[in-house]
Amino acid sequence: MWRRSLAPAALLLFCGPLTAAVERVVIVKLDGIPASVLERELQRRDPVTQKSTLPWIERIFNQGGSRVPNFYVRAISLSAPSWSLLDTGRHLEIRGNAEFDRYTYHVYDYLNFFPFYVGYALSRRVDMPGVEVLDQLNIPLLIDFFPYAERYQGFQLFQRGVRWKTLQHTLQHRLSRSLRQLLDEWTIGFEIGSSVEEQTERELIEKLSDPRIRYLDYFTGEYDHVAHGTPDPASQRMALQSIDALIGRIWTAIESSPLAGRTVLAVLSDHGMNTRPGVYSQGYDLVEFFHSRAGGAHHVVTNRHPMTEYKLKGLDPFVSEVVTPSEESLYLKGAANQYPTVLLDLDGNERASVYLRNSDFNLLHILLEELNRSPMQPPLRQAAIRAFFQVVDRHRVEWQRTVGQLREEFAAIRRSVAEQRIRLEEQPKKWTPAQRNQGLDKDARRLAVQVDSLVNQDRRYSEYVDALAKILALNPSDFEKRRIPAGDVLPKRAMSEANGVHALRNYVVGPAPGGLALAPDGSLDLAKSFQRIDYLPLLASLSVRNNVQTALASHPVDFVALRIPSAPFSDWSDEPLDENAVWLYGGENRQAVILSRQRAGELELRYVPVRDLQQDSDGTFHVDSLEFAPGLPLALFEDKDLDVAEAQRVDWLRSWHSDLEWLRAAHSTEYSNGLPALHEQFHQRIEVNGDLLERFRARRRRLAEPDFVIFANDHWNFNVRGFNPGGNHGSMRRISTRSVLMFAGGGETSVPKGLVVAEPYDSLSFVPTILELMGQDQEARKFPGRPILEVLPQAKSSTAETRN
């Protein structure tokens, strides 16, 4: 367990000789504040006070600390992925605010607090879902570097445990107010959310007076909530001013705390927000698109109810899976709950992750339905049976491997479960206060939760494996003996393997209107027998008739991004490429491929404009490279803010560059660090060393990935849960990716005063910077990100510089 392996590090950090001046870190986490809005408000003078609209931030960070104005999300600009990067300092493993498992439909609902709290109360959960996933991958959080008794964590997405006392005190505090105050609040409107934040703040300030507490954090989503709702700058300003006052109170408390001189206050946001005064963000309903006939007449699963506020079911706080059936379904009418064929993660809104059922599963399903329909001409029936087995045979090796490997992994799971149950038996039944203070009770509960989770996974994946095995066991004679209903052999509620380029461009959505058709050679005519959709151009060409704002185009989709094999592009590099590339599709003449390779241990990336990228049914790729021209995805060529001289721009863009070079050259462009961020988003990293459990966990991560991600055009969004006219995030646009990062330190720390760091950094830099500030240089060097040299002590800056 990584927690055990971390223990010595935590011990060193706590008990070892204190070489660093920084002994305590206080982190204020702000959800969704764009650096641009913060800067606008910082510069703005209040007409009454003649001071900055955000006077505390001005004083603490502008004058008394350091700001990193070019701080970017190194992935899509969404809360769950972004906080996972900021809280771990490791490469991306959580790729959306919600993820679905392709085999089991398990929903990783990272933003939903309710099931967590109830699960915690019932002793079924210990940590938020994001933390559970990271734990399984042995990826520690920054907080884990501090012993349990020395940390104070606020309520947040990557939360360990629940402090019921905070909630209890929130209620007590709220009700202990005078009758007059309560009456005022009743009239003006109670705000339970802010009450919890107030209580958390009180506790944090109280903890600051305890010198044993070395790590404290505080999370607020106030701005994000307001900015989604309205682009009105005054409303957003009020939210920011409230945060400014909070920072003032925390800083004042730090100043009067015992470790004042050796405390660093870091304030950061996870992403920006595409919000502009006077412009409403317009939504496009992808659920409606996918369940329309034109979009494939799919039954669609989302993690929340569409238009949730208008349904009684929308009140269910535990919901994480909602099926929206299509009345126009071509072959699955009435089977929406068993066979949904699209899973959509729309949270985040400027992008949507789309999981489509494997197209060949659809084909097999249709064939089974047709074969079971009587009567059918014998030649056509025989052709259909042959076609069925051709498809099965095409996948046979892969499916057999999946079944075999998963069964090996199930055996490993069962062994592990047995071992862990023995450990659980050895745990005390009652915990002493001292043990509780060390968090041992939570560790034990965490172990129990992991055991339950493994048992559950074993069961659910077994269902899929058994179904797959049934298909593999079929032979043509079975069709002569009996009817084989699709429901008996095709796994229910499973997407199966992701679709390749060929499948996405020839996606089977139903039988042809005329039914199955024979080819002249007596085989089934696969082209004429099925209705197919080429999803990429269809999505790119979507448009609306109601376009009443000049700032918006009538096309809601900017481009579609998906992972493809890099093998077809091997000629474009003189060194071996990474296994996969990223394909960006914005139209037949708006395409590009992002290639990556490792050179001397350093990541290098290349952007190649292409057109007509196609894949044959046998897997062969065809692609033409294209000259650089305006209009390509990410709009690098024409962007005046690309930091490359115009005369050298084409040559530069044609070349390989490290991710840092890309960041430095492109961070000021409209799509900022879109290129390295897209690579981060789609790159598969988990390496398996032969351990079956690790292989199983790596598989689960892979199975949580979508077929493709749709990115919205400027000021468009894909929210269907409700409406977000104020602004959205999720894209690679600079306004969505450029986040807030500021440091201020006590007199004994190295944090410079009045410094504005010009160098661009990304999410991976945060954790190593904090660790270096706290003297954990060895630990910090294990992280992939660059520490922010400018805020480190002079000596460290020069040492760290050699690592860049």
Partner 1 sequence: MNYFVERRSILLASALIPFLLGAEVVAQPAPTYRVERHPIAGNAELVTLFGRVQTPGSRLQEFDVPLLSVLRDTLGDTDPENDRLRYVWILTDTRPTPLQRAASALSFFYFRAGSRQHSDLVPKPVLDLASPARNVWVNLLGAGVQTMRLDALGAPIRASTRSYRGNSSDYRKLQVFRALGAMDNLARETGGESVLSDEDIQKVYSRLRLSGYTFGGLVRDENLSRFFDKESSRLEQMRGHNWELLRQRAEFCGLYFEPLAASGSTPNQAMLWVARDDLERREQQRFDGQFLRIANPWTDLRLIAWNGYTELRYFDAENRPVDADTAGARAVEMIPLALYSLDYPRVPLLLADFRDIFKPKRRELLQHGLSTVLTGVLGVTGFGNWSYMAANSAWTFVRQRHGAPMDRFARLRAYSEAREFLAVDTTLDPQLKLELERRLNHLALNPLENGLATEAKLAQEQYAALLRYAESPGGLSAKMERERRKELASYTRSHGMRLLLALGRLFTARPDVEASSPDPALLAKLDVHRRAAHHVRYLERLLASSPRPEVIRDSAQIRQAIDALSVEPAANRRAPRLIAQVFERSGDADVRMTCLRALHRLDVEPARHELLRLAQDPGTAPSWRTLCLLYFRGETGGDLAGVPGQQ
Task: Kindly tell me which of 168 and 554 has the beta carbon lying closer to partner 1.
Answer: 554
| CB-CB contact of 560 with 710 (8 Å) | yes
Task: Kindly tell me which of 248 and 439 has the beta carbon lying closer to partner 1.
Answer: 248
Can you give the three-state secondary structure of 243-267, one letter per residue?
HHHHHHHHHHHHHCCCCHHHEEEEE
Q: How many CA atoms lie within 13 A of 203 on its CB side?
A: 24
Task: Kindly tell me which of 273 and 451 has the beta carbon lying closer to partner 1.
Answer: 273
Tell how far CA 590 is from the center of its chain: 26
Q: How many CA atoms lie within 13 A of 522 on its CB side?
A: 4
Least gap, CB of 183 to partner 1 (angstroms): 6
Distance from C-alpha of 144 to C-alpha of 160, rounded to nearest angstrom: 10
Query: 460 is written with which tokens?
Result: 């659910």
Least gap, CB of 718 to partner 1 (angstroms): 12
Least gap, CB of 224 to partner 1 (angstroms): 13
Beta-bridge mates of residue 658: 604
Task: Kindly tell me which of 198 and 443 has the beta carbon lying closer to partner 1.
Answer: 198
Residue that is written with structure tokens 């600051």 in the block: 208
Task: Kindly tell me which of 260 and 469 has the beta carbon lying closer to partner 1.
Answer: 260
| CB-CB contact of 77 with 766 (8 Å) | no
Task: Kindly tell me which of 60 and 94 has the beta carbon lying closer to partner 1.
Answer: 60
Query: 323 is written with which tokens?
Result: 């099926």
Least gap, CB of 322 to partner 1 (angstroms): 16
Task: Kindly tell me which of 277 and 334 has the beta carbon lying closer to partner 1.
Answer: 277
Least gap, CB of 191 to partner 1 (angstroms): 9
Least gap, CB of 312 to partner 1 (angstroms): 6
Distance from C-alpha of 105 to C-alpha of 108, rounded to nearest angstrom: 9
Beta-bridge mates of residue 793: none
| CB-CB contact of 88 with 145 (8 Å) | no
Query: Which residues are at the interface with partner 1 (CB under 8 A)?
Result: 46-51, 55-56, 59, 180, 183-184, 186-189, 226, 229-235, 237-238, 241, 245, 248-249, 252-253, 277-283, 285, 288, 309-312, 314-315, 543-551, 553-554, 722-723, 725-726
- DSSP 8-class letter at 754: S
Distance from C-alpha of 109 to C-alpha of 113, rounded to nearest angstrom: 9
- What is the SS3 assignment for 184? helix
Task: Kindly tell me which of 49 and 802 has the beta carbon lying closer to partner 1.
Answer: 49
Task: Kindly tell me which of 228 and 395 has the beta carbon lying closer to partner 1.
Answer: 228
Residue that is written with structure tokens 């405390």 in the block: 263
Task: Kindly tell me which of 202 and 649 has the beta carbon lying closer to partner 1.
Answer: 202
Distance from C-alpha of 634 to C-alpha of 636, rounded to nearest angstrom: 6
Task: Kindly tell me which of 50 and 477 has the beta carbon lying closer to partner 1.
Answer: 50
Least gap, CB of 283 to partner 1 (angstroms): 6
Task: Kindly tell me which of 491 and 730 has the beta carbon lying closer to partner 1.
Answer: 730
Residues in the chain: 804
Beta-bridge mates of residue 593: 583, 608
Query: 68 is written with which tokens?
Result: 């990193």
Least gap, CB of 401 to partner 1 (angstroms): 45
Task: Kindly tell me which of 40 and 492 has the beta carbon lying closer to partner 1.
Answer: 40
Nearest-5° angle of CA 450, CA 130, CA 231? Answer: 160
Residues 6+ apart with CB under 8 A from 764: 74, 85, 89, 90, 91, 783, 784, 785, 786
Distance from C-alpha of 469 to C-alpha of 463, rounded to nearest angstrom: 10
Beta-bridge mates of residue 349: 729
Nearest-5° angle of CA 617, CA 620, CA 625? Answer: 125
Tell how far CA 278 is from the center of its chain: 29
Task: Kindly tell me which of 228 and 446 has the beta carbon lying closer to partner 1.
Answer: 228
Closest-CA residue to 73 (of 320, 284, 350, 353): 350
Least gap, CB of 192 to partner 1 (angstroms): 15
Least gap, CB of 655 to partner 1 (angstroms): 36
Tell how far CA 206 is from the center of its chain: 34
The residue type of 252 is T
Least gap, CB of 155 to partner 1 (angstroms): 23
**What is the b/e burial string over 445-479, where b = at least 16 CB atoms within 10 angstroms of the residue's CB?**
bbbbbbbeebeebbebbeebbebbbebbeeeeeeb
Closest-CA residue to 608 (of 619, 597, 600, 620): 597
Task: Kindly tell me which of 4 and 313 has the beta carbon lying closer to partner 1.
Answer: 313
Least gap, CB of 271 to partner 1 (angstroms): 21
Least gap, CB of 189 to partner 1 (angstroms): 6
- What is the SS3 assignment for 228? helix
Least gap, CB of 393 to partner 1 (angstroms): 42
Distance from C-alpha of 729 to C-alpha of 97, rounded to nearest angstrom: 12
Least gap, CB of 548 to partner 1 (angstroms): 6
State the angle between helix axes of 233-255 and 35-43 in degrees (0 to 180), rounded to the nearest 10: 80
